[in-house]
Amino acid sequence: MRVTTYREALREAMREEMQRDERVIIIGEDIDAYGGTYAVTKGLAEEFGRDRVRDTPLAEGVIAGAAVGAAMSGLRPVAEIMTINFSLLASDQIINTAAKVRYMFGGQTNVPVVFRMPAGGGAQRGAQHSQMLETMYAHVPGLKVVMPATPYDAKGMLKSAIRDEDPVLLIEHELLYGVRGEVPDIGEEYTVPLNRGDIKREGTDVTLVTFSRAVHLCLQAAEELAHEGISAEVVDLRCIRPIDLDLVLDSVKKTNRAVVVEEGWKYYGAGQGIAAMIYEYGFDDLDAPIGHVTGVDAPAPYAKNLEKAAFPTHTDIVAAVKKITPVRSGR
């Protein structure tokens, strides 16, 4: 194993899949000479040519529509949307076409397309550039919504997404691109399934259910809680549609308590859906109400001090855990 960044892991995944399968192409705004807004596609146009790495106009509907058409015609496009906030302009193509074509055509065709898009706040980009919005897409049958938190998962899940026969949204938190982590050596083939979560830290007293950047906040909180005699298990969903509910329920059965942690808004969000499923299928295993840590239910502020107050921190998670978990002495 070697250590690399989240950004490099994504680039490696695309490079390896383009080498493996000539049908894989990349399209998006500024992905050629500029290398993408977050430099994920840097160098791929020079390596594979501009027939396979194509810059597009600043028009998200065109990017998504072209990608869907290319996928239906036999290619395997990876479409980069500069930010999930702009994906709203492409939502008709994603929700009304990509997600439904296979069903509406009776299985006669499929749409093997990947939509890559950064999301999340914390970099002072203001209310229109700091949203998650994953809940909107996870609500739609026919789409897979993947939100890896580590370089290992980012590379493995992007490779799986490119090979998948259905449309996949790979949502990358913009504060994760510089995060470093272990990834198998170049040439060592691996993938990560799109329907399995992962236990990032084992524990016995409370289950922290989370995804994307919040995984790192939960790990930080779990470390702090351990010093106070509380053993927290961190369950990284990795994919919020489909959701690995069995992994969550098995963990809750062991710990008897749960806190759901997400960056997005509380009301009608992914976290409330997860909590509802735990209540529905694991109620008898709960010894306390489910905690829920989220961002503030308001547009993201631009001012740094206000932005910091708008998004969850590891101390918020610690506080939520302490509300439902007794400290056990003698550890």
Neighbours of 202 (CB within 10 A): 13
What global pTM score does this model have?
0.96
What whole-number distance in Å separates Cα of residue 278 and Cα of residue 265?
19
For 2-183, the fitting CATH number among 3.40.50.970, 3.40.630.10, 3.20.20.450, 3.30.365.10 is 3.40.50.970
Q: Using an 8 Å Cβ cutoff, are 57 and 29 in contact?
A: yes
Write out pLDDT tens, residues 245-286.
Answer: 999 999 999 999 999 999 999 999 999 999 999 999 999 999
Neighbours of 7 (CB within 10 A): 21
Every domain of the chain with CATH number 3.40.50.970 lies at 2-183
Indicate if the pLDDT at residue 131 is higher than 90: yes
Architecture of domain 198-324 in this structure: 3-Layer(aba) Sandwich (3.40)
What positions carry a catalytic annotation?
A: 60, 129
pLDDT score at 33: 81
Every domain of the chain with CATH number 3.40.50.920 lies at 198-324
Write out pLDDT tens, residues 150-201.
Answer: 999 999 999 999 999 999 999 999 999 999 999 999 989 999 999 999 999 9
